[in-house]
Amino acid sequence: MRIGFIGLGAMGRPMAKNLIHAGHELHVFDLVQPAVDELVAAGAIAEENNKAVAAASEVVITMLPNSPHVKAAICGPNGVLEGRHPGMKIIEMSSIAPLMTREVGAACAEAGVPMLESPVSGGTMGAADGTLSLMCGGDKALLEELRPILEVLSSSIVLCGGLGAGNTTKLVNQHIIAVEIAAVAEAFAMGQKAGVEPEVIFNAIHNGYAGSKVLEGKLTAAMDRQFKAGFRLDLHIKDLANALETAHSVGAPMPLGSLVMDEMKYLSNNGLGSEDNATLMKYYERLAGIEFHRCQEAQ
Ligand code: NAD
């Protein structure tokens, strides 16, 4: 199939490569030329803008940072809708505000282009392995039609409801991860200051109820002092902002989310926004005056 892929960042690049490996003809665009060059080297065809991507493709996938980027890439000048043609469909996979999903979806419907939303969870590893979890929103029949493409990228596909339900679900996911990183950091800082090595605590508890992917992935990253993104802190701030905005619009208080948001902003304002979201642990390290580390005895 001729598939367009727009947004060749940390997630988009491995996802697009998996579609090429599955035998699809990929037409790609990104504002960053080296990202396009990497995909062309992997077998993709570079297009001059998002309109040209659409004109060349039966299905267009977007994987962009946030709401304004998605609106610009799909509805803006030289955007996907300008390159529309009968039969073309859109899979919008970015993590954006649910309200924007509905707004862009409505613009697509008015232009006669069916759109499925499908934000993802699973990180750059899941993108590379083709094991992302997809939180879809939109029409069930459209999802079934597009399922063979989605299955190249994912190991779990759940239809959450109409347009916006996928990104609402993604916001739940992002809120939990943010608060969980903070909770792990706060608890482990206490443990380390009280004299027990973090790696010993990890070994003792990670198979119990406190065990989690955050504990496995983010605490170990902090102990190894590995903060290269991965998932940039600034993207997580974007998700929490969308979660808090959604929460306010429906009258759902999020005191924990508001607190962690300010902690993340403090770190971003102090130069850490491009690091992995594991860098949130540094806020608690600074509060406690410690740094997490591996211990020789436990290895
Ligand atoms: P990224 O910033 O690495 O990549 C985004 C890409 O979009 C960039 O290469 C940028 O140049 C391009 N872009 C921006 N505007 C454009 C436009 N108008 N036309 C064409 N290209 C444009 O971001 P990412 O980490 O790949 O994340 C993409 C989305 O997936 C985000 O919404 C993010 O929250 C979500 N997500 C990321 C991860 C992760 O681990 N990185 C995990 C799950 C979900």
DSSP string, 183-220: HHHHHHHHHHHTT--HHHHHHHHTTSTT--HHIIIIIH
Q: How far is the CA of 176 from the centre of ligand 1 (A)?
A: 21
At residue 241, does pLDDT exceed 50?
A: yes
What tokens were used for 112? Answer: 């006669």
The reply to whether ligand 1 has any atom less than 6 angstroms from the CB of 177 is no
Q: How far is the CA of 8 from the centre of ligand 1 (A)?
A: 7
At 130 the pLDDT is 98
Q: How far is the CA of 95 from the centre of ligand 1 (A)?
A: 9
The pLDDT > 90 percentage for the chain reads 98
Q: Ligand 1: which of 15, 30, 51 to mutate, most ligand atoms within 8 Å of CB?
A: 30
Q: Ligand 1: which of 31, 39, 82, 100 to mutate, most ligand atoms within 8 Å of CB?
A: 31
pLDDT, mean of residues 86-105: 98
**Positions marked catalytic:** 170
At residue 208, does pLDDT exceed 80?
A: yes
Q: Give the three-class secondary structure for 5.
A: strand
Q: Ligand 1: which of 53, 64, 100, 121 to mutate, most ligand atoms within 8 Å of CB?
A: 64
Q: Give the three-class secondary structure for 155.
A: strand
Closest to 280 in 3D by CA, of 257, 297, 264, 256: 264
Q: How far is the CA of 270 from the centre of ligand 1 (A)?
A: 22
Q: Which is the closest atom of ligand 1 to the Cα of 239? A: 34
What does pLDDT average to over the chain? 97
Is 280 within 8 Å of 252 (Cβ atoms)? no
The reply to whether ligand 1 has any atom less than 6 angstroms from the CB of 59 is no
Q: Considering only CA atoms, which residue is closest to atom 13 of ligand 1? A: 7
pLDDT, mean of residues 105-117: 98
At residue 218, does pLDDT exceed 80?
A: yes
At residue 299, does pLDDT exceed 70?
A: no
At residue 138, does pLDDT exceed 80?
A: yes
pLDDT, mean of residues 196-222: 97
CATH topology classification for 168-288: N-(1-d-carboxylethyl)-l-norvaline Dehydrogenase; domain 2 (1.10.1040)
Q: Which is the closest atom of ligand 1 to the Cα of 235? A: 34
| Contacts of 169 by beta carbon, 8 Å cutoff, 6+ apart | 119, 135, 158, 160
pLDDT, mean of residues 264-281: 98
Q: How far is the CA of 62 from the centre of ligand 1 (A)?
A: 9
At residue 217, does pLDDT exceed 60?
A: yes
At 84 the pLDDT is 98
CA distance 90 to 74: 9
At 110 the pLDDT is 98
**Which pLDDT band, with edges at 50, 70 and 90, does 298 fall under?**
very low
pLDDT, mean of residues 247-257: 97
The reply to whether ligand 1 has any atom less than 6 angstroms from the CB of 235 is yes
What tokens were used for 280? Answer: 């949130």
The reply to whether ligand 1 has any atom less than 6 angstroms from the CB of 10 is yes
At 273 the pLDDT is 98
Position 116: which residue type?
Answer: L
- List, for residues 147-199, the tens digit of each pLDDT value: 999 999 999 999 999 999 999 999 999 999 999 999 999 999 999 999 999 99
The reply to whether ligand 1 has any atom less than 6 angstroms from the CB of 69 is yes
Q: Which is the closest atom of ligand 1 to the Cα of 236? A: 34
Task: Indicate the domain borders of the chain.
Answer: 2-162, 168-288
Closest to 227 in 3D by CA, of 267, 262, 259: 267
Is 203 within 8 Å of 298 (Cβ atoms)? yes
The reply to whether ligand 1 has any atom less than 6 angstroms from the CB of 126 is no
CATH, range 2-162: 3.40.50.720
The reply to whether ligand 1 has any atom less than 6 angstroms from the CB of 231 is yes
At 297 the pLDDT is 60
Topology match between the domains 2-162 and 168-288: no
